[in-house]
Amino acid sequence: MPNISNKPLTLAAMFAAAVAAMIIFAVVPLIADIKSAGSQISGQIAEAADYDRRIVNARGFTLFNKRESRDMEKIAGVFADGRMPLELINSLENAAKSSGVEYEFLPAAAQNPKNSWPAIKIEVSVSGAVPAILQFIERLENSPYLIEIESAAIRAAVEPAARQNLPRISSDAAEARILLKIYAKVEPK
């Protein structure tokens, strides 16, 4: 016969082993799942906060775009149309005519490095009085387009002498060659 005094001790040990097994096989995985779910929830909360921040930024940009659209249109207007520069040529011709100089536009070799802003290069040959040439250059600088004068060479005009076959230098006339770099709009790809 078994000893009665050992029986409660055996039952207590079996109950403790069953509780320990339950803790190991049920509660520990449950706690691990709770931690994993907590990590997922905190990640989702961070994503939701980022999404809310993006919505606020998008609304702010929309308001900025509405306020600044006129200025952006003006800024876009300083760049010439690289494919059809008719307005640019008309503007250059008007500047030359209103300055009182004779002009000739010559295409220059376009050398746009790979990472530079697109530009149109034009060489302008002008002749006339020195103040008129300077006025033409000033009108180029004040034109509505973004124009860079890369080089300019002005010299006294040489007129052929009628009686002698020697060139004669005119006292008030000059000739100039001006290399212009006109920045163009960036074409979407």
Q: At what angle do helices 130-141 and 86-99 cross, to 10 degrees?
A: 150
What tokens were used for 81?
A: 């149309």
Pairwise CA distance, residues 105 & 126, whole Å: 9
Q: Which residues contact 137 (CB under 8 A, 6 or more apart)?
A: 149, 152, 178
Predicted model pTM: 0.55
Give the model confidence (pLDDT) of 111-158 as tens digits: 666 667 788 888 999 999 889 999 999 998 888 888 888 888 888 877
Q: What percent of the chain has pLDDT over 90?
A: 16
